[in-house]
C-alpha cells in the first residue's frame, strides 16, 4: 500500500480547517478502508464517523487496528460509484487516493452525484489525488491525475475551491509521489 500514511496530517489539518464541531460533525471517509484517518479523528474527539470502502479486508484491518474504538465508526462495504448514501447527511466528505482510480467519465459522474446527494449545503469536500506530475499507475492500476481545477470542473459550479495543498508523499519503498489535496465548499 504505497499510499498509506501512519498519521494523515494534511487530511486532519484540512478537516479542522473546515470548522466543523467534533461532537456534531458527520464525516465520511470514502475509500478509507485501512487508512488511519479514523484513528486520528477519534483521537481528536470526532464522534460521528463513517468509513466506506469496497474492500472487506481493508475494513476488517481497520476495525481490528481500532479495537473497541471501531464500534464508534459506521462501516460501509460498497463501491463509491454505486452506493446509495443518505441525503444531505455529511458535513465533510473526505477521499484520499480513491478518486484518481476513476478513469472513466461515467464513474466520475456517478461519484460526483453521490457527493452532491450526500453532502449537506455548506459542507466540505476534501479530495486528494495524484497531482498532474504524479504517477500514472498505482498498485498496478491506471490512475487519472488531477489538479484543483480539474476537480472543480468535475464537481461543478456548486462547489467553491477553498484551498489546495501539494504533498510529496514518500512510499514505504522510498519512492516519492506527488499528491494534491483540494478543499471545496458546497453552496
Question: What's the pTM value of the predicted model, to 2 decimals?
Answer: 0.94
Split at pLDDT 50, 70, 90, the class of 2 is: very low
Domain locations along the chain: 9-186
Q: How confident is the model at residue 1 (pLDDT cuts 50, 70, 90)?
A: very low
5: confidence class by pLDDT, cuts 50, 70, 90 = low
Per-residue pLDDT averaged across 86-112, rounded? Answer: 97
Look at residue 51 and tell me whether its pLDDT is greater than 60.
Answer: yes
- b/e code 85-119 from CB counts within 10 Å (16+ = b): beeeebbbbbbbbbbbbbeeeebbebbbebbbebb
Count the neighbouring beta carbons within 10 Å of the beta carbon of residue 79: 12
Mean pLDDT value across residues 71-91: 97
Average pLDDT score over residue span 167-182: 90
- 4 has a pLDDT exceeding 60: no
CATH number corresponding to 9-186:
3.40.50.150
Amino acid at each position: 500500500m504505497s499510499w498509506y500514511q501512519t498519521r494523515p496530517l494534511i487530511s486532519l489539518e484540512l478537516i479542522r480547517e473546515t470548522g466543523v464541531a467534533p461532537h456534531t460533525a458527520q464525516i465520511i471517509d470514502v475509500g478509507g478502508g485501512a487508512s488511519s484517518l479514523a484513528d486520528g479523528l477519534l483521537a481528536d474527539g470526532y464522534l460521528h464517523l463513517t468509513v466506506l470502502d469496497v474492500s472487506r479486508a481493508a475494513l476488517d484491518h481497520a476495525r481490528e487496528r481500532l479495537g473497541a474504538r471501531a464500534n464508534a465508526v459506521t462501516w460501509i462495504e460498497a463501491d463509491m460509484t454505486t452506493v446509495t448514501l443518505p441525503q444531505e447527511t455529511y458535513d465533510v466528505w473526505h477521499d484520499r487516493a480513491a478518486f484518481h482510480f476513476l478513469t472513466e467519465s461515467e464513474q466520475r459522474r456517478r461519484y460526483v452525484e453521490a457527493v452532491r446527494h450526500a453532502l449537506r449545503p455548506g459542507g466540505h469536500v476534501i479530495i486528494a489525488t495524484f497531482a498532474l506530475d504524479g504517477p500514472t499507475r498505482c498498485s498496478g492500476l491506471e490512475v487519472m491525475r488531477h489538479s484543483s481545477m480539474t476537480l472543480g470542473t468535475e464537481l461543478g459550479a456548486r462547489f467553491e475551491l477553498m484551498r489546495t495543498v501539494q504533498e510529496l508523499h514518500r512510499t514505504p519503498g522510498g519512492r516519492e509521489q506527488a499528491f494534491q489535496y483540494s478543499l471545496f465548499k458546497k453552496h
